[in-house]
Structure 1
Amino acid sequence: MNVASKILGEHIVAGEPEPGKEIKIKIDQTLTQDATGTMAYLEFEAIGISRVKTELSVSYVDHNTLQTDFKNPDDHIYLQSVAARYGLYFSRPGNGICHQIHLERFARPGKTLLGSDSHTPTAGGIGSLAIGAGGLNVAAAMAGEPFALKYPKIVGVKLSGKLPPWVSAKDIILELLRRVDVKGGVGKIFEYFGPGVKTLSIPERATITNMGTETGATTSIFPSDEITREFLKAQGREEQWIELKADSEEDYDEIIEINLDELEPMAALPHSPGNVKPVSEIEGMEVQQVAIGSCTNSSLRDMKIVAQILKDKTVAPNLSLLINPGSRQVVTHLVETGEFKYLVDAGARVLENACGPCIGMGGAPPSGSVSVRTYNRNFEGRSGTKDAKVLLVSPETAAVTAIKGVLTDP
């Protein structure tokens, strides 16, 4: 059996494990964010349950953090009161992006996670079977109801080799998107395996499972190995580690092979995450904005890389550089190591630990401009500027571009 089928098998409460057949699974954890959470909790209250019945549920505030009137702060007060009343954890505004924090503090190998946000599969980087769903689905899960889905095909993504310098996990998922496009994962789980897996840290794995959402996949997942154990140990959660790995290559419905040695910096061009080309083929275009962060690339690993690239450099005069770190933990580490100063001294605008410009919550680019971002989506108008052209790249490519002033292959 593979990792995904093992977790599904342990959580199925109804149905048969055959691709395309409906099953129902027990949900161990839930998460919400404030843009979808308010309705989810109103629905949960209407069910009439006195306390949540999951092992763990978390209400995060990371989306609507621009408080230009009373509506958002009023919502946040409601969310905090619901958490206190029904037994959830509450993450206040400024703590960070839900997926980054959940990876740091709560996600566990072998557990199921249902979130009212499409990028919930981020937790797959730690070996959790994490699925994005609607608010009512999450409300029902908090009330102890199973989650219904069609049993997916399990596609093994075999990673071999090691990433060259200046190439990162973002380039791996962009390469997968180049091959399968934005609907190639529908009805499937992408499970990563092979010798290349051990060369990737947990934040790098989470970058891949996060943006796997853009393929239309049910979710994406990595095995839980010694790298996972070391991450959990660093977070003070080593006792939550379990080993999870596939028994055999033969256990997958399909296999896609990616040789990390052969990858180069990639970019998704407007207006689709699946419109991917090597940066080397398109470099040189003038850029008016660079944005680094989001739930895809806001980890400590990514921020340290960016800080080191920007050290003793200055942002090009023709563009603006926005940075939104993923969590308070990330910022605290950057401050303690002195690397936060590199960002400030370079001329970056360091924003709140929140989703921010990724969802058009501030940081809109100028009219008709090119914005190079480390985010996961570049749909027309999503940035807040209808005629802006948004490219999706790695933190390495974004940081070097911010210094050079034009799209640059690092």
Structure 2
Amino acid sequence: MAESATLQILRRHLVHGGLQPGEEIGLRPDDLLLPARTAVLSFLHLERLSRPRHPARRALCCLDPVLDPADAVGEEIQRYLEQACASFRVPLSRPGNGLAHQVFLERRASPGRLLLYAGGHGAAAGGLGTLALPVGALEMAVALAGGPHYTVCPVVVRVVLKGTLPSGCAAFDLALHLSARWGLLASSETVLEFCGPGVRSLSVATRAALCALCAELGPVTALFPADPVSAAYLRAQGRAREFAPLSTGAGDDYASQLEIDLAKVEPLAWLPRAAERMLPIRALAGGGVSEVHLGGCVGGDVEDLVHAAMVLRAHGAAPGVDLRVVPASRQVWQSLARQGSLQVLLDAGARLTEAGCCAEGLSEGELPAGPRVLRVPGRAAAGPEGGEIRVSAQTAAACALRGRLTDPRELKPNPFRARAACRVVVDDRFLAVSPRRAPGELPRGRGVVEPPLFGSLPPSLAGEAVLKLPNGVATSQILPARGGAYLYGDVQGFARRAFERIDPTLIRRIEENKGRAIVNVLVAGQGYGAGPAQELAAMCQMILGIRVVLAKGFERRHQLQLIHQGVLPLWLLDEHSYDVVHRDDFLEFPWLATELRKSEMVTVRNPERGYEFKARHGLTRRQIDIVLAGGLCNFTAR
């Protein structure tokens, strides 16, 4: 009986372990995708490892629009990345060429390959049959140097699609419909594998957007089979030879199955500040709209923007509506220009920008990566002050046309019945390998600062509980407000503002502990570390000298990032262990290294107040070695 497509790909790339869900496995990736936001750290770590880039790993670095060349720091970062790509022979996608995941989908993704991506929406490659796994910048550096990628063998869930999407509905609506059927789309160790007769009705653009959105809502990634629709997409991109059939299994390899009738999907809206975050757009119809953003990270493809042009062709945007259009790549702009839709959008009153993300100003993690942002003044559903909501491209275009929240199915005549056909323009002039540079240290600057590393873990530890956190502390509460440091260039400066919204005195107390030669311990509740930028949050804790985190529960990916930074995550076994520890308590871990090697449990005690308890580490042998070495970089270098 045929295996699931996920297991087929994993088996072909397996180098360590067995394909049993929950077990640690080592994989040999084919492709590596480095967005600008994390590429700086990846190259800094690769320099520190003093190893050449592995020639068999096909890598791509994208200078996407998070860089501002007009800013001095942004210019330094761009120069560093250009020199690093030349030094390590990594092809570079030039500024303005597009967002990393869109460029990869257009020019690199193909069925049956294994992709590692460090940030962004790389899961979109699953729409073309590429299994895309998220990694941190440090893991990316190890992969660039030729090391295997270690992860947990995922649980594969079969999602059977039947019927066709109704006119006016898109991948965004389907993703929210799916999440409503299955809560927050299971755990971060789950892969959603789509199959069934409904798959044939979805374009590659829709499949890619759905995979990216599903990865935002819980699962580690999502995957579609490779079929004639995939083959046609690759032909249009001039890459027909890269097609390889990839079929889904018959059912035995799947942990569970979910059936979705596409005909029952309706236009939906995501409201970040409302008590009820997801509502049908018909329930909000009539609310005024002042700003509409079309395009961006998920949904700024040719198909979506052609649909928007169809809606706006006759009358343009309503008076008072600020319409902005942001394509996901240069190829999208060029294709729209050749087809004529670009002129339609201009005539509709749209403000055009270079390829990028349309979600500026939003708190990361607040919204799923939906295609559109609507600024809705004074709507109770969006919050007491109004605010942003997310809808599909079709709904956003309908709202721009009417000047109010509108169900796109109300538009007469139906603009979505016509096929959104557009011949793509293939132009790889902005995607090339830079000329080889002379050997030597790469140029640095204020914006490029090498992060510190822990030393190896001593046999025992003594420290102070510098912070005690409640349940549900996410990365957005660990990290300071968004800014240029999200480019991962100067993480040391960024770390000095970590936890500032929770405890402004933390940094001062940590500085005092440096003179006392003791480490810092953090105590947390359930669900610690959920949210985006988990590696950055883990790095900030390492830089602050937090050597141990005691928590009632960790988000799995954040726990892994703590391990890679040399921070030991320990699970508290009961409420009493959490309650008994107070802030500023002195804690001892008297037999730490020995207990890590020989037992699942670690002893924690306080001689001053007279309590002692056990905490569980749950680490694999390899993860124990990483923590004892002081982190993945030290472990790999050895």
TM-score for both structures, normalised by structure 1: 0.91
| Cross-structure match for 2:224 | 222
Report the Cα offset of residue 94 of structure 1: 0.4
- CA 1:236–1:295 in structure 2 vs 1: closer, same or farther (change >3 Å)? same
- Deviates most, 74-83 or 217-226: 74-83
> 2:406 aligned with 1:401, yes or no?
no
Within 2, Cα distance between the matches of 1:294 and 1:32? 18
Q: Counterpart of 2:238 in 1: which secondary structure? A: coil
In the TM superposition, what are the counterparts of 1:3-14 in structure 2 within 5 Å?
3-14=5-16
Amino acid at match of 2:300: S
Cα distance change of structure 1 residues 155 and 315 upon mapping to structure 2, 3 Å threshold: same
User: Partners of 1:359 and 1:135 in 2: how far apart?
Assistant: 23
**Structure-2 separation of matches of 1:172 and 1:183:** 12
Larger mean CA deviation between 168-177 and 92-101 belongs to 168-177
Tell me which structure has the larger Cα radius of gyration: 2
Distance 2:106 2:23 in 1: 34
1:10 to 1:377, Cα distance in 2 relative to 1, 3 A: farther
Find the aligned partners of 1:373 and 1:405 in 2 and give their Cα distance. Answer: 20
Q: Which residue of 2 aligns with 1:333?
A: 335
Please say if 1:259 is aligned against 2:239. no
Q: Distance in 1 between matches of 2:79 and 2:305?
A: 31
Once the 2 structures are TM-superposed, how far is the Cα of residue 375 of structure 1 from its aligned partner?
4.5
Report the equivalent of 2:568: none
Residues 377, 205 of structure 1: alpha-carbon distance in 2 compared, 3 angstrom cutoff: farther
SS in 1 for 2:359: helix
More helix by percentage:
1
Partner of 2:244: 242
- Report the counterpart of residue 16 of structure 1 in structure 2: 18
Paired residue for 1:389? 387
Q: Using CA pairs below 8 Å that are at least 6 residues apart, which structure has the higher relative contact order?
A: 1
SS of aligned partner of 1:400: helix
Aligned mates of 1:10, 1:85 — CA distance in 2: 31
> How many angstroms does 1:377 deviate by?
12
Q: Which residue identity does 1:99 align to in structure 2?
A: H
1:267 shift after superposition: 1.4
Range 190-199 or range 131-140, more displaced: 131-140
Structure 2 Cα separation of the partners of residues 200 and 183 of structure 1: 20
In 2: Cα distance, 1:136 partner to 1:271 partner: 34
What is the alpha-carbon distance in structure 1 between the residues aligned to residue 384 and residue 325 of structure 2? Answer: 22
- Corresponding residue SS for 1:212: helix
**Alignment partner of 2:300: what SS?**
coil
1:78 aligns with 2:80: yes
Query: TM-score, normalised to structure 2's length?
Result: 0.59
Asked if structure 1 preserves the Cα contact closer than 8 Å seen for 2:60 and 2:90, the reply is yes
**Runs of 4+ off more than 4 Å:** 375-378, 385-388
Q: Does 1:111 align with 2:113?
A: yes
Task: Tell me by how many angstroms 1:295 deviates.
Answer: 2.2
Distance 2:323 2:127 in 1: 28
2:299 aligned with 1:297, yes or no? yes
Aligned match of 1:34: 36
Question: Hey, what's the Cα distance between the residues in 2 that align with 1:69 and 1:118?
Answer: 22
CA contact (8 A) 1:211 1:376 kept: no
**Residue of structure 2 equivalent to 1:381:** none
State the alpha-carbon separation in 1 of the partners of residues 132 and 373 from structure 2. 17
Q: CA deviation at 1:154?
A: 0.3
One-letter amino acid of the counterpart of residue 261, structure 1:
A
Secondary structure of 2:15 counterpart: strand
Root-mean-square deviation (CA, aligned residues, Å) is: 2.3
CA deviation map 1:111-137 (0-9, x unaligned): 111111142111000000101221111
1:49 pairs with 51, 65, 69, which one?
51
Instruction: Report the Cα distance in structure 2 between the residues aligned to 1:350 and 1:307, rounded to whole angstroms.
Output: 13
Q: How does 1:153-192 map to 2 (within 5 A)?
A: 153-182=155-184, 184-192=186-194
Partner-residue secondary structure (3-state), 1:250: coil
**Residue 182 of structure 1, CA deviation:** 3.7
- Residue 382 of structure 1 is matched in structure 2 by none
Structure 2 equivalent of residue 147 of structure 1? 149
Q: How many residue pairs are counted as aligned between the two chains?
A: 393
TM superposition shift of 1:359 = 4.4
Quote the offset at 1:172 in angstroms.
1.1
Q: Is the contact between residue 34 and residue 60 of structure 2 (CA under 8 Å) also seen in structure 1?
A: yes
After TM superposition, the structure 1 stretch with the greater mean CA deviation from structure 2, 99-108 or 306-315, is: 306-315
* Matched-pair identity in %: 34
Alignment partners' CA distance in 1, 2:399 and 2:372: 15
2: distance between equivalents of 1:347 and 1:308? 14
- Partner deviation per Cα, 1:336-382 (whole Å, 9 max, x = no partner): 11210111111111111122x32439xxxxxxxxxx9625999xxxx
Structure-1 separation of matches of 2:330 and 2:290: 28
Q: Which 10-residue stretch deviates more, 300-309 or 248-257?
A: 248-257
- Superposed CA deviations along residues 212-235 of structure 1, whole A, max 9, x for unmatched, are 112221110000111111111111
Amino acid at match of 2:147: E
